Amino acid sequence: MAWFGQPVLIDELLFQTKHGIVDQSLHARMGAEPTNGDGFGLGWYDDGGEPALYRSEAPAWSDANLRELAAHVTSHAFLVHVRAAIGSPVQQTNCHPFRHGRWLFVHNGYVADFPHLRRDLMLALDPDRFAAVHGSTDTEVLFQLALTHGLEDDPITALERTVGLVEQTARRRGCDCLVQASFGVCDGSTLWAVRYATEGPPRSLFTTAGVETVRRLYPTDHRLARLLPGDRLIVSEPFSDLPGLWHEIPPNTSVSFEHRGELRDQRPFQPIAP
């Protein structure tokens, strides 16, 4: 889940929504796993520089500190991730978002057969990034690969190169070639989202409709009335059942949003093999 727009109290989107992400951590309806209780993370931007991280291996639904932070931190841009571990240990260093300088990265998906690919993929990292891998998830390696391939200059191309490299490596190794890649990337000024799968339907990803549409559909909703042009939510699973509020991002597509601006770019996401 990502918020990008006017400054809001994190609480409003995290706990004061129907079927919000913390609720989804306990019983998701669209996700691959109904329970996402293997840790979570919150990354938020404040005035300047590096975003803050709060990550925990506890389930989001029972973490008292998360409620405290949400009730006291206001931010114009934040990302929240709830985790269902697939094999790798439940530990803080395996929780998203991952961070590098101003950059945050979250991933809903997986690299099939990752344990068999891990060595090749870590060898493909910029050698200086090798020691920056502290945990054991596929996501952290994907993020460091994307940084190796220029994420800070052109995030989408870097991710296309990253996914292309992973797919090529898997094929070369005779492994299952399947990358499930719903990504969120942010530097505080722009938010990029990718919805991709090597084959089959990618994991779901939605964005909110523009403010005019929302107001036209729900003219009397008090909370929605506070939306301003340029406010955006991106979610794996819609928060509520208000029809018309959510636009599904098409499969194998990337989108980008400037802060408080319009949708800047929507284009096919096409992995680039090395």
Residue number, 91 or 157, with CB nearest to a second copy: 91
Q: Give all strands (DSSP E) within the chain, no chain letters.
A: 2-9, 40-44, 52-56, 74-82, 98-100, 103-111, 179-186, 190-197, 206-208, 232-235, 246-248, 253-258, 263-268
**Nearer to a second copy among residue 101 and residue 115 (C-beta):** 115
Q: Pick between residue 143 and residue 206 the one whose CB is nearest to a second copy.
A: 143
CB of 133 to a second copy, least distance (A): 8
Residue from the set 89, 101, 244, 268 that interacts with a second copy by CB under 8 A: 89
**Residue of 91, 168, 253, 266 that binds a second copy (CB under 8 A):** 91
Q: Which of 8, 26, 86, 224 binds a second copy (CB under 8 A)?
A: 26
- Do residues 121 and 140 touch, judged by C-beta distance below 8 A? no
Alpha-carbon distance of 231 to 233, in angstroms, equals 7
> Is residue 173 a contact residue for a second copy (CB under 8 A)?
no
- Alpha-helical (H) ranges within the chain are 10-14, 21-26, 64-72, 114-123, 138-148, 155-173, 211-217
Min separation Cβ 59 and a second copy, Å:
5
- The token pair at 236 is 């794996």
Residue 252 engages a second copy in binding (rule: CB under 8 A): no
* Cα–Cα distance, 214 to 239 (Å, whole number): 14
Report the interface residues with a second copy, using CB under 8 A: 26-27, 34-35, 37-38, 46, 50, 52-59, 61-62, 64-65, 68-69, 71-72, 85, 88-93, 115-116, 118-119, 122-123, 127, 130-131, 133-136
